[in-house]
Structure 1
């Protein structure tokens, strides 16, 4: 048993949102056993390994709903000159060159390095959207192996696309199907799979149909939607309808679909997303870096569309993503009050609700029977902290407060800043060597 105590317990449970001077006990089954005052729980569980929060915040593990772990090995890679402007040119000139060159060793090392950053950032559940057209078959198992070694809960998928020809497209579909079955056989609540898809402008109707025919009934789809204006224009010019309308007609949207970005939409599209109960995943730092635009998160709120947060491979730090989302929302809307309710709700409430459409154990909450995914944030506020102003504190703390301890499924992954789940130097050294080899292949 592990006990986290001497902190402010942020439960994300409406019945008991904060416990000052509180503690959380996690059993050997990986589930939360009890919450309460620290001294009381220490008397009840005298043999528990005690993690001292030292007055910081004891919180549920964070969830990233849209990641590209393989991007980690591209960090520092110089873009090829003359790639052109716009997201499609960036994809062709950088990311698709990268994934064409990747082998299974690259996949593993990229995932391991990315998941190490997740642990250090307090992220315990990751929804990863992968592409490595140089090595399709078996790639998701390599990512899963890295997640096992780092101790993370992960939902994985492979990015189906027509861009590399029919043979590799079919292999990508099969990779998704095979991994969905592999994850289901585990039965440990730590892994699941989805049908990954790139975006409408690289997916023909025939390919969408093949994906939906192959998709097991218990799973869902993970796809980029209207991330760039070119995706929207292509759909209107080629199919005579918006991206969202086309995806609905092809059966892609629904309660178990994650639609990343959703920037260039009209009001009808937003209504379709609400009617189909599709989860929209906002990735603000990526959208800014790619000059893709800014999703209107306040419009999604007005329309009662479910909104979550992801990083799109830019980083692992979800609190940093929250701060970026808040700044972008206020800047793009020219309203200094915009997003203060919607964006914390996206990260701390909706991300958990969407994740629990795939994982049975309650996530994103600290209460008996919920997942033992617990982090300690070294934040001791200089002003009063209450249940009402908690999220404003977290917005202010993002980027400055450090995660000191991370646990997932009742296993300590990092304690007091020391990584316990892996040899950090060995892992990073392996990633650096693999990245150098990959870069040579990319630039050959």
Structure 2
């Protein structure tokens, strides 16, 4: 048992949201108690005390849509023509990257992405993976990397038609094998979903195969949904339906499913998402970078749809994604008054609801009985901070690199910005070597 205290404590518990000098008592993987540091130390005088030294203590961040496979694209020079639209970006960049990943590349993409996540205070990651020439065992390889780092993760493989039927069937099998292995039993650190790329890269026959393979399995689907206008046009031209309507027809939507982006959706589709209780994830930086438009996240939330926040591989820093989510809607709507409430709601409330569909326990809050996912950030506010304004302090005062301690499932994974038991220098060196070889294959 240990105590982490002597810091400004944000709990995200409605009953006790903030302590000016708070402490959290951890036993095993659970929070036993929270309260003022002085009273906690008197009650538990013999237990180890970790001094936050006046810094900010809060629940770990949650990323509900990431792309580990994209890690090796960082710094890579593109030899193709400049993209003119989203499909160009996919064909000339991402589909070349994923096709050139070998299983060892997948391993180091995962290790480095999880290290980056931990260093940015992220304690749970939902990932959407693709490596068509190394689909078999890819999710199991990523899972082993997650275990090594000590992070909680929910994984899926991106099934699509673009590389032929044999690879499509390998992707289907990787998803179902992984779900069968990890979604049973009482372990609570790794889970699986069934991943799909998008409606426009999946034929009716392929969707039938996916649905049949999922019979009897306790998991939902994780699919890019109406991200670019091309996805909508494809669905209308081939099937005379909008994207969400098509996915609904195949039974792919529901409380355990994640429809990523949902940019080009209309009122009818919003109604379908609401009726099915489908989870939606907003990824503002990626949407801006790909020039696909701005998600109607505020409208979705106003209709009672649970919209979480992710990064789509653009970054592993959820504080950064939170900042952009706050300003993109102001910019698009030309209204500085919007997104103040919805942004923290997506990060601190709605992401918790998504996590709860797959992981047991109360994750993303610090109160008695909750899972002990805790971060400490180096932040000394220059203005008063309390339960009425801490979201403003988080938005404008913090970034992922402010985090110096990360505790996941009651275990100290990072302390003083160094991961415990991980040779980061070796991992990064080997990652660079694998990335260099992958670049040579891609450009060779």
TM bracket, shorter-chain basis: over 0.9
**Mapping 1:13-28, distance limit 5 Å:** 13-27=13-27
Q: Equivalent residue for 1:59? A: 58
Q: CA deviation at 1:421?
A: 4.0
Q: Equivalent residue for 2:152? A: 153
Q: Equivalent residue for 1:332? A: 332
So what's the TM-score if we normalise by structure 1?
0.97
Q: CA deviation at 1:392?
A: 1.5
Q: CA deviation at 1:191?
A: 0.7
Q: Equivalent residue for 2:191? A: 192
Q: Cα RMSD (Å) of the superposition?
A: 1.3
1:379·1:401 contact (CA, 8 Å) conserved in 2? no
Q: Equivalent residue for 1:222? A: 222
Q: Equivalent residue for 2:419? A: 419
Q: 1:280 to 1:421 in 2, by over 3 A?
A: farther
So what's the TM-score if we normalise by structure 2?
0.97
Q: Equivalent residue for 1:180? A: 179
Q: Equivalent residue for 2:85? A: 86
Q: 1:225 to 1:415 in 2, by over 3 A?
A: same
1:60·1:374 contact (CA, 8 Å) conserved in 2? yes
Consecutive aligned runs of 4 or more in structure 1 exceeding 4 Å deviation: none
1-structure distance, mates of 2:111, 2:284: 24
SS of 1:134's partner is helix
2:119·2:400 contact (CA, 8 Å) conserved in 1? no
Q: CA deviation at 1:166?
A: 0.5
Q: Equivalent residue for 1:36? A: 35
Q: Equivalent residue for 1:250? A: 250
Q: Equivalent residue for 2:106? A: 107
Q: Equivalent residue for 1:318? A: 318
1:297·1:339 contact (CA, 8 Å) conserved in 2? no
Unaligned segments of structure 2, at least 5 residues: none
1:72·1:114 contact (CA, 8 Å) conserved in 2? yes
Unaligned segments of structure 1, at least 5 residues: none
Q: 1:353 to 1:82 in 2, by over 3 A?
A: same
1:152·1:408 contact (CA, 8 Å) conserved in 2? yes
Q: Equivalent residue for 2:346? A: 346
Is 1:259 the counterpart of 2:262? The answer is no
Is 1:141 the counterpart of 2:150? The answer is no
SS of 1:192's partner is strand
Q: Equivalent residue for 2:207? A: 208
Deviations 1:17-38 (CA, angstroms, capped at 9, x unpaired): 11221100111x2111111121
Please say which of residues 185-194 and 123-132 is displaced more in the overlay: 185-194
SS of 2:134's partner is coil
Q: 1:442 to 1:121 in 2, by over 3 A?
A: same
Please say which of residues 400-409 and 373-382 is displaced more in the overlay: 400-409
Q: CA deviation at 1:302?
A: 2.0
2-structure distance, mates of 1:378, 1:193: 34
Q: Equivalent residue for 2:364? A: 364
